[in-house]
Amino acid sequence: MLKKSFNANYSASRASLCLFWNLVESERQDSAALFWTPIYEAWFREEFRAGRINAPGFGTSPLVTRAWLNCDWAGIRMPSIDPLKEANAAHQRIADCLTTHDREAKQYNGSDFGDNAARLTEENALLQEAGQPEASAPAANPTDPNDTTDDQPAKEPQK
């Protein structure tokens, strides 16, 4: 699937990719639940018992223990047919408070938003020292009425 050449329109290609990716996500969740999470929990318990992990409250109640053992397993992200549309969609989800910067960073490349922001602050300071303009994100306009990249006819401007 990942090596396919999508020759149909964007919507059809994206639909095919999304259907396949639902299967990938389902397999990933099953793998995590049945294999990776039990291994992680066994490792954590042994490290706690050996005194190599300081986990206050671990083992005192099921709720606190579950909190310490809670984890997410991130894998590779779904390939993008149109990275600009995906970026604009992420920008809009954040603007609409449907997700967070941290979740989008994890979904995009498995990174941490706080680490990204700190690194960008350092890089922008270096750019300023070098007399270069700071890197900034271009203004995204995901609701551009003249956007015809999704095989939709251009909308007439309202008068």
Q: What is the pLDDT of residue 21?
A: 80
pLDDT > 70 fraction of the chain, expressed in percent and rounded: 79
Q: Residue 126: helix, strand or coil by DSSP?
A: helix
Whether residues 100 and 73 share a domain: the answer is: no
Range of the domain at 30: 8-81
Whether residues 122 and 59 share a domain: the answer is: no
Mean pLDDT of 73-97: 85
Count of structural domains within the chain: 2
H-only helix segments in 1-112: 10-31, 37-49, 62-69, 83-95, 101-109
pLDDT tens digit sequence for 52-76: 999 999 999 999 999 999 987 777 7
Could you tell me the two tokens for 149? 């990249």
Whether residues 12 and 77 share a domain: the answer is: yes
Whether residues 12 and 59 share a domain: the answer is: yes
Whether residues 50 and 110 share a domain: the answer is: no
pLDDT band per the 50, 70, 90 thresholds, residue 150? very low
Q: Is the pLDDT of residue 142 over 70?
A: no
Whether residues 59 and 92 share a domain: the answer is: no
Whether residues 73 and 92 share a domain: the answer is: no
